[in-house]
Structure 1
Amino acid sequence: MGSKIALRKWDVLDHLKTEEDIELYFDACVEEDPGDGSLIRAALGDIARARGMSQLARDTGLAREGLYKALSAEGNPEFATVMKVIKALGLKLHGHATTSNHSAA
């Protein structure tokens, strides 16, 4: 009775240790994105932080500060920027058709 429990704030970076972790996380965020790119943007920001934002800036030729802003919750990067980041991180977007989103013409 009276003992205190120390809690740490949950951080996804603690769980992005392997390439498989990163791939599964990115795929899940692509799959669950509500259609506005917010989860994809967040995932790219998390993965960039896990791997090192400075290295990503060098690999993309984009400013580190600009990357932080573009991949933030308030960011709205151009599609070309998103694709540069995806490529520099060694990721790929995967697409597949779903019948629930298509209607017969």
Structure 2
Amino acid sequence: MTVRLTRWDITDHLQTDEDRALFLEACIDEAGDDSAFMVQALCAIARAKGVDDLAAIAGVDPASLSDDCELSFDTFLKAIRALGLQLHAEVVPTHAGQG
């Protein structure tokens, strides 16, 4: 018996704005202090949306949204806005009342 495998690609599952927003939110929840994880998440969203189009809207070089680049926070925010998404903050219960 031959088992046939195909390569799984997250971009196949990020076809709507809601899909991309939910994926980004899940990545924010899971990333912790891992900024590279968030860069990879944003690059996956960029691939799903279309890197060249997104880069043009954000006013950044398309190469800055490739998987092997380190994004500046400025570029990260520009790409988030160009996707029509926003980041948000909330108090983490274990840190409530501190400060």
Question: TM-score, normalization: structure 1?
Answer: 0.82
> Cα distance 1:100–1:65, how it changes in 2: closer, same or farther (>3 A)?
same
Look up the match of 1:100: 94
Per-residue CA shift, 1:41-91, capped at 9, x if unaligned?
1111011000100101211221112321xxx2x533221111101001111
Measure the CA separation in 1 of the matches of 2:83 and 2:65.
13
Q: Is the 8 A contact 2:46 2:65 kept in 1?
A: no
Q: Distance in 2 between matches of 1:101 and 1:8?
A: 43
* Count of residues in Structure 1 that have an aligned counterpart in Structure 2: 99
Identity fraction in percent = 35
Using the alignment, how far apart are the partners of 2:95 and 2:6 within structure 1? 40
User: Structure 1: how far apart are the matches of 2:54 and 2:47?
Assistant: 9
Instruction: Report what 1:78 is aligned to.
Output: 72
The corresponding residue for 1:17 is 15
Residue type of the partner of 1:95?
A: A
Determine which structure has more spread, i.e. the larger CA radius of gyration.
Answer: 1
Q: Is the 8 A contact 2:46 2:54 kept in 1?
A: yes
Corresponding residue number in structure 1 for 2:41: 43
How far 1:103 sits from its partner (Å)? 6.8
Instruction: Report the alpha carbon displacement of residue 20 of structure 1 after superposing the two structures with TM.
Output: 1.9
Gaps of at least 5 residues in structure 2 are none
**Change beyond 3 A, Cα 1:83–1:104:** closer
1:39 Cα deviation from its structure 2 partner: 2.3
Change (3 A) 1:66 1:75: closer
- 1:58-73 aligned at under 5 Å gives the runs 58-68=56-66, 72=67
Q: Distance in 2 between matches of 1:47 and 1:99?
A: 29
